[in-house]
Amino acid sequence: MANMRILMFLWITTNMVQPSIFHAEEVQVFPPVNFTLTVSALAEVFLHWKPNPNQEPNNYTIRYDVEIITPVPEEYDTKKTHSFRTAVLHNGFSARVRTLLLVDDVERKSAWVSGELKPPPGDPETSVTNLSCSNYVNIYNTVSLHCTWLPGKGAPEDTEYFLFYRYKTYTEECQDYIKDKLDRNIECRFPRTHIDPEEVDDLIIIHINGSSKYTAIKPIQQLFNQNAIEKVNVPRNVTVFLQQNDLLAKWEKPISSFPKECFEYEFYLCNLKSGHKQIMKVSSNDFRLRIDVTCRYSIQIRANHYICRKRGFWSDWSEILYVGENKQENSIAWFLALLCVSSCSIALLVAVTCKINHVWSKLFPPIPTPRNKFKDSYSNGYERARTCTSETETELGSFAEDFCSSILEDSVF
């Protein structure tokens, strides 16, 4: 009887397993049909397909394996017959899909079906280069956006560039451009955008295309994580003061929807007396440091994200604040300075005195000797008269005196 039961069990088990194995091997898996790729938004592709009508309508679990080939390889599976993917499209886009069929815990796969989007026309050398963007959180919790770029090396001089940004489902063209010397757009500002300052990982899509009458300008797209490009605002209400031999600084967190625990700071201190500079990282909103109170210091602070989100760009430095005064510790220095000032004053006084004497001599010069206006016939006599006092002063004093007097009298007109 026991042997009979064993034989019956083996017969039932054999008849239950064999048909299933045979069925799984016999089921044919067909690839999807009507696979299409459509650009649905800036840097967004809509992938769509339909189940193969030849697939047996049994209660099998059907899924689809999707593989993005370019521009960035990616593979995922889905139960749906459509999918959206965000990717830069200026170099084209290609993908493929196949059917996954689960039969009795055995996964079977169909052949691949491929699709492709061709890249837009234009020489890559005409695309902009060095594209850089940053966003700011404003005082009313709105976000501004600022982008800069350089014209492509192969772009004609008449090229006009146009920038668009997309955030989620919203797309906007720039209306505020800054131009280069050739009147080409190289910078764009959005004072207010639809970017949510409290989102953490949403992407900002930047698209720049162009036009020229000489050639096709190839567009370019770039994806930015909004937290990675956020330029943090400057810390607010910075105050510094001295407390005995310590420097104390306090400030408030930057304008942001995030709490103060989300920020880190850099504290820039410069000793104006010695010229020594140092930058210290601080994770709180205050700072204390022992300093030389006989020196004067300049202080600046800047901020960045710390824990709550990815680090963006450091904020600008705060306005320069000063504390302390340079004090002389040695009385000899005061004496030398006083001696130097006194010496300079005396030298200046002497120079002024000499100058005054020189001016006085110019104002009152000595009376000159009258010029001789006699004819040549009297020149010898006049010379004799000039030298008579020196040559014959002892012997002919009275005669020379009378002669010189007569000449002088005759010379007056």
Helix axes 397-410, 379-391, angle to 10 degrees: 150
Residue 116 scores a pLDDT above 50: yes
Rounded to an integer, the average pLDDT of 152-176 is 95
Q: Which residues contact 343 (CB under 8 A, 6 or more apart)?
A: none
Q: 145: closest CA among 184, 179, 172, 183?
A: 172
DSSP 381: H
What does the block give as tokens for 153?
């090396």
Q: 240-262 in b/e burial notation, b at 16+ Cβ within 10 A?
A: beeeeeebebebebbbbebeeeb
Residue 12 scores a pLDDT above 60: no
Confidence of residue 374 (pLDDT cuts 50, 70, 90): very low
Residue 33 scores a pLDDT above 90: yes
Across-strand partners of 205?
166, 223
Three-state SS at 32: coil
DSSP 53: T
Cβ–Cβ contacts within 10 Å for residue 218, how many? 22
Task: Specify burial of residue 99 (Cβ count, 10 A radius: 0-12, 13-18, 19+).
Answer: buried
Residue 16: predicted pLDDT: 45
Main-chain dihedrals φ then ψ at residue 366, nearest 5 degrees: -70, 150
Confidence of residue 20 (pLDDT cuts 50, 70, 90): very low
Three-state SS at 343: helix
Residue 1 scores a pLDDT above 90: no
Q: How far apart are CA 109 and CA 31, in angstroms?
A: 8
Q: Which residues contact 280 (CB under 8 A, 6 or more apart)?
A: 266, 267, 269, 287, 289
Confidence of residue 392 (pLDDT cuts 50, 70, 90): very low
Residue 141: predicted pLDDT: 83
Residue 355: predicted pLDDT: 65
- Could you give the domains of the chain? 18-117 (2.60.40.10), 124-225 (2.60.40.10), 236-323 (2.60.40.10), 376-410 (no CATH)
Q: How far apart are CA 387 and CA 400, in angstroms?
A: 9
Across-strand partners of 225?
203
Which has more pLDDT, 155 or 5? 155
Work out the percent of the chain whose per-residue pLDDT is above 70. Answer: 75
Q: How far is CA 135 from CA 128, 150, 194, 253, in A?
A: 20, 19, 12, 18
Question: Which residue's structure tokens are 């014209």?
Answer: 151
Q: 267: closest CA among 295, 235, 305, 237?
A: 235
Cβ–Cβ contacts within 10 Å for residue 43, how many? 21
Residue 397 scores a pLDDT above 50: no
pLDDT tens-digit readout, 293-320: 888 999 999 999 887 877 778 999 999 9
Residue 379 scores a pLDDT above 50: no
Work out the percent of the chain whose per-residue pLDDT is above 90. Answer: 51
Residue 226: predicted pLDDT: 87
CB 277 within 8 A of CB 268: yes
Q: 163: closest CA among 219, 123, 125?
A: 219
Single-letter residue type at 204: I
Q: What is the pTM of this model?
A: 0.66
Q: Which residues contact 129 (CB under 8 A, 6 or more apart)?
A: 149, 150, 151, 152, 153
